[in-house]
Structure 1
Amino acid sequence: MNKNNKPSWDLSPRQLCDIEMLLSGAFAPLKGFLNQADYDSVLATLRLADGNLWPMPITLDVSARFAESLQLGETLELRDPEGVLIATLQLESIWTPNKDLEALKVFGSNDPLHPGVYYLHHQAGAIYLGGTLTAVELPEHYDYRQHRHTPAELKALFKKLGWHKVVAFQTRNPMHRAHQELTFRAARELEANLLIHPVVGMTKPGDIDHFTRVRCYEQLIKHYPEQTTFLSLLHLAMRMAGPREAVWHALIRKNYGCTHFIIGRDHAGPGKNSQGQDFYEPYAAQALAKEFEAEMGIKIVSFENVVYVQDRAEYLLESEVAPNEAVLTISGTEFRRRLREGLEIPTWFSYPEVITELRRSYPPRHQQGFTVFFTGLSGSGKSTVANALMVKLMEMGGRPVTLLDGDVVRKNLSSELSFSKEHRDLNIRRIGYVASEITKNGGIAICAPIAPYSAVRREVRELVENYGGFIEIHVATPLAECERRDRKGLYAKARSGLLKGFTGIDDPYEAPERPELKLDTSEVTPDECAHKILLTLERLGFIKY
């Protein structure tokens, strides 16, 4: 509660993106966060309860504890992380969603490898709130102000410039020459002007940060004919929902005054599922958007892949390439490998100025900071191996090394926390935050907590990988051996019921499914374990002998 006795909620990063889109008119016809009737209708029919087309549930998710204090009809104040009042919400609905159903309807899957599904189940609040918003002020941005526009501002700009046909291009990645050729073609064939409209709110975890991407866009746009192309940033939180997301993106661009919208292969696709297959068919997004094209009032421009033909020294659509012509390609995986290893990237693939910007932010791995994150049962040998690794890395030199041992962090950083699941997760988040700052500044963080829960470990990985490497080491020493080593008698107390919630006895340990390395200290010495880790770091490119 605030001093006016009105309930107040601090918006999450996704909610801040959503509320900006709602208040600016980018999410028209929405006037606020969906109420329950609209939410149910969107899941079932891709429409609001009044029949308007809208494919994405835009909801205000909160904790169950906070929701208990609310009553329908009251006014909720919505604030940014600094406490600035952004808007008020007139509460119309409070409900507990069926998140399994939402995942299947929106994402077509309940697979936790889908970032939208994972967010839904592990980061979004348990209760949804819906109602009409009243704006107080839009969220403040201090970066790239010259590239940020509301729908009304872009419409006015297009009118001033005399742009009657505007084709929008959506991206969450740096643009290279194939993207440029695709947009060239679209604008030329339509006799339209081009809006490069990248997402700079929330994209897929692990994507290149928006500061770097915008610098890349600023370099690329110099290679378009003058007065034909405009760059504007979209502070959207993507859901990576494939076909539904394509319809959503088209509706948003219509609200910004665009007449056409480019949809390429696998639009807003999140990659591979647990079976190693794409979550969505390559052109499913195009098909669904085309289905609603007339109703949306914006033309869908469908494109297949654009490839570089060596003999012609030009980019063509795949269907335009003759069987005997050699095609040069660099996959996203290969491009990232060349970037992290400092290898040459050919000029036919990308402009040198763009690569320079990428190399500034993402130097070769052996020049980046990284985090080595140990996880395992109490007594598994994490701290011993972590200390051995620290000494060897300090011996090598080149980067500062910091050890964040579980017991030491508990004493100095988290002494007030209990051993409840909530507090254990908070302790790991604190360790992850410190490790991310060390990594961001080019150092090495070695973390050695128990970290029994997979969800918070994934959260820490995503945080650290924004700035450098994350290497998870599962110290998988058997429980019996951990008990045998127990000098403090903690396992014995847990077995006798004197110590409750002890990991491995009456509280679960969720073993990592895909760690970078798995060790068993009952079979090898700490020195040998440390050497195995160094070999892994060398293989991944983070150190050089």
Structure 2
Amino acid sequence: MSELISPHGGVLKQLYLDGDSRQRMRDQARTYPGWHLTPRQLCDLELLLNGGFSPLEGFMGQADYAAVLADMRLADGTLWPMPITLDVDATFADKLSIGDWIGLHDPEGVLIAVMRVDERWQPDFGAEGEAIFGTRDEAHPGVAYLLHRSHPVYIGGPVHGLDAPTHYDFKSRRHTPAELRALFDKLGWRRIVAFQTRNPMHRAHQELTIRAAREAEANLLIQPVVGMTKPGDIDYYTRVRCYEQLLKRYPEQTTQLSLLPLAMRMGGPREALWHAIIRKNHGCTHFIVGRDHAGPGKDSQGRDFYGPYDAQELVAQHEAELGITMVPFQEMVYVENRAQYAPGNEVQPGETVLNISGTEFRRRLREGADIPEWFSYPEVVAELKRSYPPRQQQGFTVFFTGLSGSGKSTIANALMVKLMEMGGRPVTLLDGDLVRKHLSSELGFSKEHRNLNILRIGYVAAEITKHRGIAVCAPIAPYRETRRQVREMVQAGGGFIEVHVATPLEVCEARDRKGLYAKARAGLIPEFTGISDPYEVPEQPELVIDTRDCSADEAAQRVLLKLESLGYIG
């Protein structure tokens, strides 16, 4: 570990080993148990190693974890609002003893760092969500991640870096905290205001950042997150191309663009505090906190998780201790009679305010409608349209789910034929039996293997959808959580239409063309859906079909009408 002290940001802890120590540790690590990091863990590790998470020296132990949850501080009293933990599965954890060393590998198996296991415990994810996010509502993406994607055991201990994670993209836009501090020194920048974003920037954002820089008499660092953001957000490749277009519209010699490999938690006020600390570590002196900073939107009851200026209030309470100055901002709005943007609280009575919400912007993008230049520059809109064409040009997945014998495969075949007849996109049928034969022949019918089979279908469907094709899937898919994961995978690249073929059990069993229900009743097939294993009915499918009252041809036509109403076909 090394410590860097510069005029920018104070002490920076860098956890990479030097040459000789690095090689010795690399040789020793060949005998260590290895953990393959998840995308979120890899982001966390990169910022631990390069000092972005200073003063942390590893993944948290129980004392720091408990103190952060209770008081937004480490056990020694240092202000730190977000737990940085390493979650592993029980099988891996059971192999470890306190004092063991493990290797930390990226998804391709490359050894990034080693870690000494000082502690191991099972957290209460519900309590963590309540403490950090103020809720247990699974509509909050941070809570949903804890409950559905985190492994059950936390291990804590110091980490030592061997190699930085490899990034092949936007290399000139990526800087470690030390590199960014050195750049500021080279440019002669002494006051730097940072802007955090996970969305494309439009003219309101540009106006906000220019005003903030002028107010602080500082240069501007636009530092978007290119790690994990909120599910459904625009991919960072598209966003960075948009930022690069927008950068041309700023005054010369005033602004830098640098990418931050952060895994956001969408934690609102706590996250704003965390972001301020991270920007201080990167050498910034000021930090913009706008309306609903890092807010995840609305809860399951339709209410905002956080107040619009809760984040500003929390950062203001700790501003002196943070060592970085907050630049608070109201939402910027376009005042038509002035033909310019202004903070919302400066609009005068009688003035006309124009606004396009995020939902409305996405609708216009989806339908190819006009987006006025007062809202966003044409070159930014063009980049977005390249990646997110109108729905009629997007790929999509039709995902049939229902009991064995419900009619899924028959309807799916009929739909495939009708879509191929229409033309315009390649169509692929991923029928449950065919996938079992060609993709999952080694799998059994345990719950674990059935889930794995569905996730494989989801992965293939997501790839087809991403490349603007049509995937028609027809597995039983009995479990809600697995279907939710498939939906999330597919929607990252296009449309997902879930069709519940809700034919009742007694009808499916009466059909029983394969004799499967009879074998299940006789105990010859264990864990058979609908008999000895549950089918979890979809809660909000896009379409419900009961084949008692319609033919396969009629059912396929209903799906086509739904696709037309959603804008995927015309």
What is the TM-score normalised by the length of structure 1?
0.98
Residues 131-164 of structure 1, C-alpha deviation per residue, up to 9 Å, x if partnerless?
0001101100000000000001111111111111
Structure 1: which 4+ aligned runs deviate by more than 6 Å?
A: none
Aligned to 2:416: 390
The reply on whether 1:373 has 2:393 as its aligned counterpart is: no
Aligned to 1:333: 359
Q: Is the 8 A contact 2:29 2:102 kept in 1?
A: no
The reply on whether 1:89 has 2:115 as its aligned counterpart is: yes
The aligned runs of 1:449-528 (5 Å cut-off) are 449-528=475-554
Shift of 1:462: 1.5
The aligned runs of 1:101-500 (5 Å cut-off) are 101-500=127-526
**What is the identity, as a one-letter code, of the residue corresponding to 2:200?**
P
Q: Is the 8 A contact 2:330 2:344 kept in 1?
A: yes
SS of the residue 2:224 aligns to: coil
**What is the identity, as a one-letter code, of the residue corresponding to 1:455?**
E
**Which range moved further: 495-504 or 357-366?**
495-504
Q: CA RMSD in A?
A: 1.2
**Which range moved further: 166-175 or 111-120?**
111-120
Q: Is the 8 A contact 2:335 2:352 kept in 1?
A: yes
Question: Equivalents in 2 of 1:510, 1:325: separation in Å?
Answer: 53
Question: Equivalents in 2 of 1:355, 1:226: separation in Å?
Answer: 22
Aligned to 2:100: 74
Shift of 1:489: 2.5
Aligned to 2:12: none
Shift of 1:488: 2.1
Shift of 1:472: 1.1
Question: Equivalents in 2 of 1:3, 1:103: separation in Å?
Answer: 34
Shift of 1:505: 2.1
Residues 50-99 of structure 1, C-alpha deviation per residue, up to 9 Å, x if partnerless?
11111111111111111111111010000111211100001111111111
**Which range moved further: 388-397 or 462-471?**
462-471
**What is the identity, as a one-letter code, of the residue corresponding to 2:422?**
M
**What is the identity, as a one-letter code, of the residue corresponding to 1:342?**
G
Aligned to 2:62: 36
Question: Equivalents in 1 of 2:383, 2:29: separation in Å?
Answer: 47
Question: Equivalents in 2 of 1:276, 1:26: separation in Å?
Answer: 35
**What is the identity, as a one-letter code, of the residue corresponding to 2:159?**
L
Change (3 A) 1:484 1:294: same
**Which range moved further: 274-283 or 21-30?**
274-283
Question: Equivalents in 2 of 1:190, 1:364: separation in Å?
Answer: 41
Shift of 1:4: 3.6
Question: Equivalents in 2 of 1:510, 1:524: separation in Å?
Answer: 23
Q: Is the 8 A contact 2:29 2:103 kept in 1?
A: no
**What is the identity, as a one-letter code, of the residue corresponding to 1:372?**
V
SS of the residue 2:256 aligns to: strand
**What is the identity, as a one-letter code, of the residue corresponding to 2:251?**
P
Shift of 1:476: 1.6
Question: Equivalents in 2 of 1:512, 1:228: separation in Å?
Answer: 52
SS of the residue 1:307 aligns to: strand
Shift of 1:503: 1.4
Question: Equivalents in 2 of 1:524, 1:395: separation in Å?
Answer: 21
**Which range moved further: 400-409 or 373-382?**
373-382
**What is the identity, as a one-letter code, of the residue corresponding to 2:425?**
R
SS of the residue 1:428 aligns to: helix
Question: Which residue, out of 28, 31, 53, partners 1:5?
Answer: 31
**What is the identity, as a one-letter code, of the residue corresponding to 2:67?**
S
> What number of residue pairs does the alignment pair up?
543
Residues 344-375 of structure 1, C-alpha deviation per residue, up to 9 Å, x if partnerless?
10000000000010011111110111111111
**What is the identity, as a one-letter code, of the residue corresponding to 1:522?**
R
Question: Equivalents in 2 of 1:421, 1:252: separation in Å?
Answer: 42
Gapped regions of structure 2 (runs ≥ 5):
1-27
Q: Is the 8 A contact 2:216 2:327 kept in 1?
A: no
Shift of 1:3: 8.8
SS of the residue 1:197 aligns to: strand
Question: Equivalents in 1 of 2:298, 2:512: separation in Å?
Answer: 42
SS of the residue 2:197 aligns to: coil
What is the TM-score normalised by the length of structure 2?
0.94
Residues 253-278 of structure 1, C-alpha deviation per residue, up to 9 Å, x if partnerless?
01001111111111111112111111
**What is the identity, as a one-letter code, of the residue corresponding to 1:527?**
D
**What is the identity, as a one-letter code, of the residue corresponding to 1:291?**
Q
SS of the residue 1:223 aligns to: coil
**What is the identity, as a one-letter code, of the residue corresponding to 1:91?**
V
